[in-house]
Amino acid sequence: MVGTARPVFVLFGSSIVQFSYGVGGWGAMLSDYYSRKDAATHPALVIVYFGGNDSCSQDRSIAHVPLPEYYENMNKIAAHLKGLSETIRLIFLTPPPVNEKMVTKYFGDCGRTNERCRMYAEACMKMCSEMGVTCIDLWSVFQQQREDWQTAYFIDGIHLTSEGSKVVGNEILKVIEESEWEPSLHWESMPCEFSGVTLFDTLGYNHFLNSSLP
């Protein structure tokens, strides 16, 4: 019987979070890594993503949230989550960049530009620094990974391909692995829920899949 005290990893955000549970998504990737882990004594992890929709220009989209208000909202979210427990772990994700040509093609002129995403990404990082919260700068990471990031990482200019999701998932796993959280939430440090020999090694299987691709 599955244990009743498993920790909950919460992914909180917009459609980029919603889409992350599709095939090849970063939410599905994290679920895969942690699927057999037992962590009755481990604290929860909350991953927060907002800012992409907020960054749309005011005269082009009803989703627009002014930068000062976005900063205040994110600050309130961080303060609320930190106040829930001294052991809760938080990771905030900045808005990633966008492929502006694809955005216009699929969504029209919604005022969502790479420059506006940068402004909201910097606001998110500033808030996290002041609140002592871990932040992953997706806006910078995406553009540093490869030259063809605009076509490799987006299906419509905003939402992520499996390659884009892999970048997000790996950045999250890197933070979890390198953090000094006690107890650790890295999947390799957790015992399996069922004792005995593990018949299926997630890491080994993923390595096999990657090495088998043309």
Active site residues: 14, 156, 159
Kindly state the DSSP code that residue 9 receives in the 8-state scheme: E
What's the Rg (C-alpha) of the chain?
18
Ramachandran assignment for 69, one of left (phi > 0), alpha (psi -120 to 50 degrees), beta (any other): alpha
Q: Is 16 helix (H, G, I), strand (E, B) or coil?
A: helix
Instruction: Give 156's contacts (C-beta < 8 A, 6+ positions apart).
Output: 102, 103, 105, 106, 107
- Dist. CA 3–CA 40, nearest whole Å: 8
C-alpha to C-alpha distance for 179 and 132, rounded to whole angstroms: 13
Instruction: Answer whether 140's CB lies under 8 Å from 86's CB.
Output: no
Find tokens 């019987």 and name the residue: 1
